[in-house]
Amino acid sequence: MNIPAKNDSPLADISASQSLVRDQVEFILETAKRLGASAAEVSVSQDVGLSVTARMGELETVEFNQDRGFGVTVYVDDRKGVSSTSDISSEAVTDTVKAALNIAKYTQGDPCSGLADADKLATDIPELDVFHPWEINAKDATKLALDCESQAMGMDKRINNSDGATLASHQSCRAYGNSNGFLGSYLSSRHSLAIAVIATDAAGMQKDYWYTVSRRAEDLENAQDVGQEAARRAVARLGSRSFAPGRMPVLFSPQMSTGLIGSLLSALAGGALYRNMSFLTESMGTKVAQQDLSIVEYPLLQRAMGSAGFDGDGVATSSKAFIKNGIVNSYILSTYSARRLSLESTGNAGGVHNVSIEGALSSLSKLLKQMGTGVMVTQLMGQGVNAVTGDYSRGASGFWIENGEIAYPIENFTIASNLKDMFLGVAGLGTDVDLRGNIRSGSILVDEMTVATG
């Protein structure tokens, strides 16, 4: 991405805050012990950021944020209390810890609650290269946002309106510690540029968007390219036509595939499992997807958006396959959910980290030829996923595929099946992997779903 020359910036590097944040964790833990907690854990955070939105050729908003605060969890034997505040003064620390202790007095004891076992805690936290502050000011951020929108608006005469282009840059400092002797901290940055535009023809209006995000500003897509891609996507949706509904193959675009994978991961999460609120309860070792599909977590990738050396309990993270060759290989467990299930934590308190979909990959053109006739889904609407049964029904829009090629846009249709059948029926995985998020997936071809029109 073309980056403006360095200028006086309101976003100073917050790396100097790391030692202070760690000191605050230690002070809060000491306070909790002094006031009577048998165990305690603390998270302290500090954030700074700049966000600029330009719309229709003019600056619309400029937002600066600077936030800090902490949350403390105290244990009195097996009773638990939680409290938080944005005030980190000594008086506020005392008051917040007292509030958590007071809550613990009235909670029911739970033998599964408590800190992670000491032998599970991270002892060697790796450097993951996730902190790259961007010294950009509002003026230069506005220029990039305006350039992005200008490219989108000039791409096609049918692009006649914009929801705006937003450039954002944020830095965070996080520290977590507990009374089992763990104290870990890290700095991170997140920079992004996003735009949504509206295309209009005689049949109506269509809106689409594009964005780029990275830990390092130099790795962002060019502002002009982001604008042009948003415009291309919006124009491509014009001229939607009807089609014959029925049972047919469905190809999920990479952006939609991540949500599909997310639904499966939610069913493997410990909280859903111990509550018997998942269609994958007691599924360990069973086949839930076609044989050539694996879902693998890589938490220690350099500079990735989901990287972390320890989870929300301080447990060390590690690479693992949740699904291996179609078989459930690991649940997604925090310390608490693991104890409820009489299992061991997988280092996933707070969620998963850099999940990749693996198997034999094909180009998008090959997947289209393979499906022959069907629908490609590029947008989904509504919730429509029943975690208990696995039933899946979503509103959608996208493209009609005929003779292995994109024929024309379609909208206002529904796709329905069951997640079990969908993953067992995965017929192909795409090379067009979207690396921008925490779930990294290319297109996913499902062999058959019910497609209906409204």
Does some domain include residue 340? Answer: no
Q: Which of residues 205, 235, 265 is at a domain's end?
A: 235
> Are 73 and 132 part of one and the same domain?
yes
Domain shared by 76 and 215, yes or no: yes
Please give the biggest Cα pair distance in the chain: 73
Q: Do 98 and 207 lie in a common domain?
A: yes
Asked whether the predicted pLDDT for residue 355 surpasses 50, the reply is yes
pLDDT in tens, 170-200: 999 999 999 999 999 999 999 999 999 999 9
Res. 115: pLDDT tops 50: yes
Co-location of 64 and 43 in the same domain: yes
The CA distances from residue 364 to 26, 156, 251, 292, in Å, are: 52, 25, 10, 18
Measured CA to CA, the distance from residue 178 to residue 359 in angstroms comes to 40
In a domain, 262, yes or no: no
The Cβ of residue 372 has, within 10 Å, a number of other Cβ atoms equal to 13
* Count: domains in the chain: 2
pLDDT at residue 87 tops 50: yes
Residue 216 and residue 246 in one domain: no
Residue span of the structural domain in which 32 resides: 17-235
Provide the β-strand partners of residue 218: none
- Write out pLDDT tens, residues 250-289: 999 999 999 999 999 999 999 999 999 999 999 999 999 9
CA-to-CA distance for 137 and 10, rounded, in angstroms? 6
Same domain for 168 and 248, yes or no, is no
Shortest CA distance to 354 belongs to which of 282, 306, 318, 316? 306
CATH at 209: 3.30.2290.10
Average predicted confidence (pLDDT) for the chain: 96
Claim to verify: residue 89 and residue 195 sit in the same structural domain: yes
Give residue 11's pLDDT.
65
Q: Point out the domain boundary residue: 204, 235, 266.
A: 235
Distance in angstroms (rounded) separating the CA atoms of residues 260 and 429? 13
